[in-house]
Amino acid sequence: MEQKPLKKIDIIFGWDDNCTPIQVVEKSVKKTPESIILDMIDSGLKGRGGAGFPTGLKWKFARNEEADAKYVVCNADEGEPGTFKDREILDRVPEKIFAGMTICAFVVGALEGYIYVRGEYNFMLKTLQQKIDIFNQQLHDLKIDFHIYLRSGSGAYVCGEESALFESMEGKRGEPRNKPPYPTVSGYNGKPTVINNVETLVYTSEICRMGPEQFKALGTHDSRGSKVFSVSGDTPIAGIYELELGMPLKDFVDEFGDGDTKAIQVGGASGHCVPRKKFNDTIIGFEGIPTGGSMMIFNSSRSMYNVLHDYLEFFTEESCGQCTPCRIGCQQLLKGIEAVKKGERPPTYLNDLKRLTATMKIAAKCGLGQSVANPFTSIVDNFREEIIY
């Protein structure tokens, strides 16, 4: 499999005085929407929120819909444990997000855009609104018919799921909808909507600035470009790093570990736990283990039972309760590992619980319930003795 050595990149937070975000917009709206879509598809950009859907296709689908209104939504409901990159982007280069939204709106034919920021980041709303006001004024001066609004969440992890986010924006409980229809057909207010992660939107504006070639040159065949990683846990240098995709996990550990790394949780609570013995042949990218950016490092002093227990507690509380597999499943998994730990259930009960996660994977309505199997099986399979004893 194609690999790239670990390399630090500076695209997201970089600043080009000769081509500011609003100038990128000015330049882009002179092109045709079709050519921008082709650039996006050519760049190979996939969604940076975790699911990894090709951005160019998403824009194309929304463009092809006939509707009296369309929307662009920026998903800034960053709630995955271990992720804090979107806040940094919102704080340092928000204009690039606005530019990405505007270009997207131009491509699909939307007049309104919304940024949905998680309630935990309310402290930044005031500054962000001021910056949005300035940008809206610049758009007005350029006679570009697009307006950005700011919305905030109220502390529900599940609202990061795109259809739950729409429900929330519509003043309802943040319960995910059935799919299809997908947001590009029926999203906010039942209208075609492009919803992209904060980081994805920044890359779209950067691809418009520098052309798809430069972006494409980074990463591997299946994982083009770079990505912002949030590094936390047992590391001396926790923080935010933009890295080229496609690196082996071993390189990552060499750079960020504390010398005693036992395991890395790639992709947050809903991601996969990779033990030391697999560092060499695990690639960070869509062909290996994809991540929304969360990289949590655990050293040998950590109990993986506690880690799994924390995750299951998190899911039990954040499950919206709408569908039974997820609501009951999360509760039973938590109770289950507690019972095995106490000796009330035999170790083989873990196999039953694994079957339960397999059921949740196919029967749960949204990504939350479906992905509980990831941390559960990867931790139980690799650290079984720590769960039992």
Partner 1 sequence: MTNTEVLIQELVQKHGRNRNALMPVLQGVVACEKFLSESAMIAVARELDLSAADVYGTASFYTFLDTKPRGKNIVRVCKTISCHMQGKEEIIKAIENHLKVKVGETSHDNKFTLLTANCLGWCHKGPVMLINDEVFPSLTPDKAIAIIEEFSKKTN
Query: What number of chain residues touch partner 1 (CB under 8 A)?
Result: 50
What region does 96 belong to: left with phi over 0, alpha with psi -120 to 50, or beta?
alpha
What track of x and - describes contact with partner 1 for positions 113 through 152 (by CB under 8 A)?
A: -----xxxxxx---------------------------xx
Question: Is residue 240 a contact point for partner 1 (CB under 8 A)?
Answer: yes
What value, to the nearest 5°, has the Cα angle with vertex 22 and ends 43 and 16?
70
Contact 45, 225 (CB under 8 A): yes
Closest to 359 (Cα-Cα) out of 307, 305, 320, 323:
323
Burial zone of 113 (CB within 10 Å; 0-12 exposed, 13-18 middle, 19+ buried): buried
Query: Cβ 373 to partner 1, closest distance in Å?
Result: 18
- Judged on CB neighbours under 10 Å (0-12, 13-18, 19+), 109 is middle
**Single residue of 47, 192, 233, 246 touching partner 1 by CB under 8 A:** 233
Question: Is residue 157 near partner 1 by the rule CB under 8 A?
Answer: yes
Site for partner 1 in 316-345 (CB under 8 A): 317-318, 320
| 3-class DSSP state of 380 | helix
Candidate residues 78, 95, 162, 206; the one interacting with partner 1 per rule CB under 8 A: 78
Q: Does 311 bind partner 1 (CB under 8 A)?
A: yes
Parallel/antiparallel/unpaired status of strands 193-197 and 71-76: parallel
Q: Determine contact, residues 73/232, Cβ cutoff 8 Å.
A: no
Q: Which amino acid is at 58?
A: K
Min CB(173)–partner 1 separation in Å: 4
CB of 251 within 8 A of CB of 8? no
For position 87 contacting partner 1 by CB under 8 A, the verdict is: yes
CB of 220 to partner 1, least distance (A): 27
Binding of partner 1 by 94 (CB under 8 A): no
For residues 275 to 304, the per-residue mask of contacts with partner 1, x marking binding by CB under 8 A and - elsewhere, is: -------------------x-x-----x--
Taking the C-alpha atoms of residue 104 and residue 207, their distance in angstroms, rounded to an integer, is 12
With a CB cutoff of 8 Å and minimum separation 6, the contacts of 30 are: none
Q: Is 173 in the site for partner 1 (CB under 8 A)?
A: yes
d(CA 203, CA 206): 5
- Note whether 191 binds partner 1 by CB under 8 A: no
What is residue 289's DSSP assignment? B
The 3-state DSSP class for residue 186 equals: coil
Neighbours of 147 (CB within 10 A): 16
Out of 22, 62, 218, 231, name the contact with partner 1 by CB under 8 A. Answer: 231
Q: Which of 232, 270, 370, 374 binds partner 1 (CB under 8 A)?
A: 232
Among 44, 174, 246, 271, contact with partner 1 (rule: CB under 8 A): 174
Rule CB under 8 A: choose which of 59, 71, 84, 98 binds partner 1.
Answer: 84
Q: By CB under 8 A, is residue 189 in contact with partner 1?
A: yes
CB closer to partner 1 out of 190 and 346: 190
Instruction: Give min distance, CB of 223 to partner 1, in A.
Output: 24
What is the DSSP code (8-state) at residue 119?
A: G
Residues in Cβ contact with 88 at an 8 Å cutoff, skipping those fewer than 6 apart: 13, 228, 240
Strand partners, 148: 113
From 220-228, 236-244, 255-263, 323-331, give the range in contact with partner 1 by CB under 8 A: 236-244
Nearest approach, Cβ of 61 to partner 1 (angstroms)? 24
Stretch that binds partner 1, among 51-59, 154-162, 335-343, 358-366 (CB under 8 A): 154-162
Which of 43, 55, 83, 136 touches partner 1 by CB under 8 A?
A: 83
* Nearest-angstrom CA–CA distance, 327 and 36: 42
Provide the binding-site residues for partner 1, judged by CB under 8 A: 78-84, 87, 118-123, 151-157, 168-175, 189, 230-234, 238-240, 269, 294, 296, 302, 306-307, 310-311, 314, 317-318, 320
